[in-house]
Structure 1
């Protein structure tokens, strides 16, 4: 995946985010911890697109980030406008594996790829639960509508 077109094909949910001066560290590039905030922004946009946050408020069943990973390909610097994308790669018994990407408008390149393992949790009991059929259906519908677009 190298071009914006390939990025657009890979990520059905995308968010435009300006790189802030305060995102940079003493080495003059965006600090590595900030990328996880970019991933979080894309993840929450994805969750909103499939109604996870509404279900969480109604039923107290929601996602928790169990594991995350980033692969840094290029440094980001201020000023820039990025696109953070999210996608579900795999469904698992108690959640799913998400993929994230960061595309730099200034560099016209993908700067970062990442993953996050999401586990669904009953916030009343603190125990993991299986994703609902409704949620799995909405994820499949979002993925399919994006692939056919």
Structure 2
């Protein structure tokens, strides 16, 4: 693989423990039937939100009394194979590293043959809703991610 965030492909791929299924819709393709190059980012968003819900963090941020929320700071996608209309994919998600108020999330999309079709990564940052400044993870929040690392 050519992505600079992947050092050893088979080890990297084996570390994913969460995934969501998606099927490529007609509206997500171009005139040649290929997946439009912007669509993986919506798949990443869907998978990221489901992953954060799975960890038990999303409800905290969505609660009206919460002073914190998570935003995406950057996002990239690396395409490995063509993807077409009506293909079934799995979008795998993992937290690759955790900082003081940020985290680096990695994505791996596989097809029905379990072949990697595209990968991605992005940074999320927990911020204060009022100030817009970074808000450090609590020890409890960090523990959700750490538990993912040791699975």
**TM over 0.5, shorter chain:** yes
| Counterpart among 35, 38, 43 of residue 43 in structure 2 | 38
Give the drift of 1:21: 1.2
CA contact (8 A) 1:72 1:112 kept: yes
Match for residue 108 of structure 2 among 98, 101, 106? 101
TM-score w.r.t. the length of structure 2 is 0.85
Structure 2: 5+ residue stretches without partners:
1-8
The answer to whether the aligner puts 1:123 opposite 2:135 as a matched pair is no
SS at match of 2:118: strand
Distance 1:50 1:108 in 2: 25
Corresponding residue pairs, total: 141
Determine the structure 1 residue equivalent to 2:69: 62
Q: Which has the higher contact order (CA 8 A, sep 6+)?
A: 1
1:19-52 deviation digits (Å, cap 9, x = unpaired): 1111101232000110001111111111101222
Secondary structure, in 3 states, of the residue corresponding to 2:38? helix
Q: What is residue 6 of structure 2 aligned with on the other side?
A: none
SS in 2 for 1:32: coil
* RMSD between aligned residues: 1.8
Q: TM-score, normalised by structure 1?
A: 0.86
Matches of 1:108 and 1:134, distance apart in 2: 34
Q: Would you tell me which structure has more helix in proportion to its own residues?
A: 1
Structure 1 spans left out of the alignment, 5+ residues: none
Distance in 1 (CA, whole Å) between partners of 2:148 and 2:28 is: 31
